[in-house]
Amino acid sequence: MIHGFRVFLYILLFIFSAVVMSLCAVRLHYTLNLSPFDPLNYGVSFYDPIIIELLVTSILSMFWSFLIGRTIHKRMERRFINTFATELIGLFVLFLLWIVGAAIASRTGNPPDPDTHWGNLSSCWVYSSCRVLTAMLAFAWVSWVVVLALFVTSFLFASANKAFRDPLHGRWDRRATHYGSTPMRNLP
């Protein structure tokens, strides 16, 4: 039951990360190809460093969620790589990346901070670029929540079963698991 829930959360993380990646690409395309008459930044092309951070984080999250979701689903075991400890370390890194990216992207000042070009997003929803930023922020925070849920779920399962060095799929039936490419059912 818990393993299906973890796979479901990894699928959600993959989907939300793909959405954030797409929205970051749209934002980068817009800011790097500004018209000289665009009021944003007086028509001078630029990019926001936080957009790059969110783009890299979303790509890493997509890779990680595919790798770990596949490992749980197929019950793959590779000695040190596919343990709960490794999963928790990877989730902690993603947790930090998502919270830093979402927090910095959400930062607005009154008056707006000179380091950010965004200002108050609630006052500009008539513009598509503002809606893209708003959606990107929402999906960044939701992705962070999913990573937090994955971290807590995996940590609690590994703690309850004292399984930090055990395979992260969490199923220890010798007849149903594989160690590398060798089926375990032939072993005594």
pTM for this entry: 0.80
* Six-digit token string for 93: 């890194």
DSSP reduced 3-state for 131: helix
**Residue pointed to by tokens 């919270």:** 99
* Six-digit token string for 38: 């665009």
Q: Determine what percent of the chain is predicted with pLDDT higher than 90.
A: 38
Please tell me the predicted confidence (pLDDT) of residue 44.
72
Please tell me the predicted confidence (pLDDT) of residue 85.
86
Q: Write the pLDDT tens digit of every residue in 7-22.
A: 899 999 999 999 999 9
Average pLDDT, rounded, for the chain: 79
Q: Which amino acid is at 61?
A: S
Q: Write the pLDDT tens digit of every residue in 165-185.
A: 777 765 554 444 444 455 444
Please tell me the predicted confidence (pLDDT) of residue 184.
45
From the list 9, 34, 64, 8, the residue with the least C-alpha distance to 129 is 34
- CA gap 78, 58 in Å, rounded: 25
Q: Is the pLDDT of residue 48 over 80?
A: yes
Q: Write the pLDDT tens digit of every residue in 135-150.
A: 999 999 999 999 999 9
Mean pLDDT on 47-53 = 88
Cβ-proximal residues to 38 (8 Å cutoff; 6+ apart), any chain: none
Higher pLDDT, 183 or 107: 107
Mean pLDDT on 96-106 = 92
DSSP reduced 3-state for 117: coil
